[in-house]
Structures are given as C-alpha cells and as structure tokens.
Amino acid sequence: MASVLTGLVAGAVAGAAGVTALNALAYGDMVVRGRGASHTPELSVEKLAGSVHVRVPGTEETRAHRTEGLGALLGMATGAGVGALAGAARAAGVRLPLPVGAAVTTLMALSAANGPMTVLGVTDPRTWSKSDWVSDVVPHAGYGAVTSFALRLMLP
C-alpha cells in the first residue's frame, strides 16, 4: 500500500490529467454549440478578493486579464486538490470499482467547483437550465473518469 504522501502527489497528478479532460470537453462544447466561455471563475476571483478586501491590481483591461487567469488557475488548483484527496483515499486502501470511483470523483469535483461559487453568490444551480447542467456535468464527468483511471494506473 502506498503512503498517504504518495497518494496525495499521485492524486494531484491524476487531477491535473482530469482538468485537461474537463477543459477539452468544455472547449469542445463551446465549438459544437457556439457558446461563450463561462465567466463564473472570474466573478469568483472578484468576490473572493472583495471578501478579503484585496483589489486585483491594474488598469481595467489588465485587471480583467488577471482575473481571467486567476479564475483558470483556481479551477486547476481545485482539480489538483480533488485529485489529491482521491489519491490519499486510494493510498489509504479505498478501492472502488472504476465506474463508482469516477462517479464519486465527479461529485467531489462538482461540489468543490460549484459549492464556493454558490456560497459567494456567483451562481445558483437551482436556476440552471437543462443546457446549463449539461455544460457543467459532462466536463466534470470527464474529469472524474480520467482522474479515477489515472489513479488506478499510478496506484494499482
């Protein structure tokens, strides 16, 4: 059995692979449906910065670019963090069948991504349309599947 530290590191790497899958599915959806990118990551950065009384520096344009970059980095950190938790659980002996592990990891990622945005008032999933849910769940399911599969490869 792997150490918890090994599980955390392997999980973070698996989570990074999952983030790549999530981004590929989200960008693919944008191409297929011709929809724009979500602005919730940038809004989350602005709300978080405001809640700790920090202003993202720069002119209006520079500030917008910084919040966009910070929003993307928050998403990557969330994906690596969820993967790290899944890796720690696997290293501790939790061995779920791949479909169950993928579903659990998907739910963890959805909660980690949407929970804080809901608390901050950036979004309210209760008001989402069917299309909004598909745009959110499908990429996160890709994240869960790839993260879980990568963990199985790294921590057999």
For the whole prediction, is pTM greater than 0.85? yes
pLDDT at residue 66, as a whole number: 96
**Every domain of the chain and the residues it spans:** 4-154
Residue 2 has a pLDDT of 78
Please list the ranges in the chain whose pLDDT falls under 50.
Answer: none
Query: Which residues, including other chains, have CB under 8 Å from residue 103's CB and lie 6 or more apart?
Result: 144
96 vs 23, 92, 126, 131, CA distance in Å?
25, 12, 30, 30
pLDDT of residue 96: 96
Cα 44 from Cα 116, distance rounded (Å): 8
φ/ψ region of 56 (left if φ > 0, alpha if ψ in -120 to 50, else beta) reads beta
Q: What is the pLDDT of residues 9-43, one digit of tens each?
A: 999 999 999 999 999 999 999 999 999 999 999 99
Query: Residues in the chain, how many?
Result: 156
Cα–Cα separations (whole angstroms), residue 140 to 47, 84, 92: 23, 16, 24
Residue type, 112: A
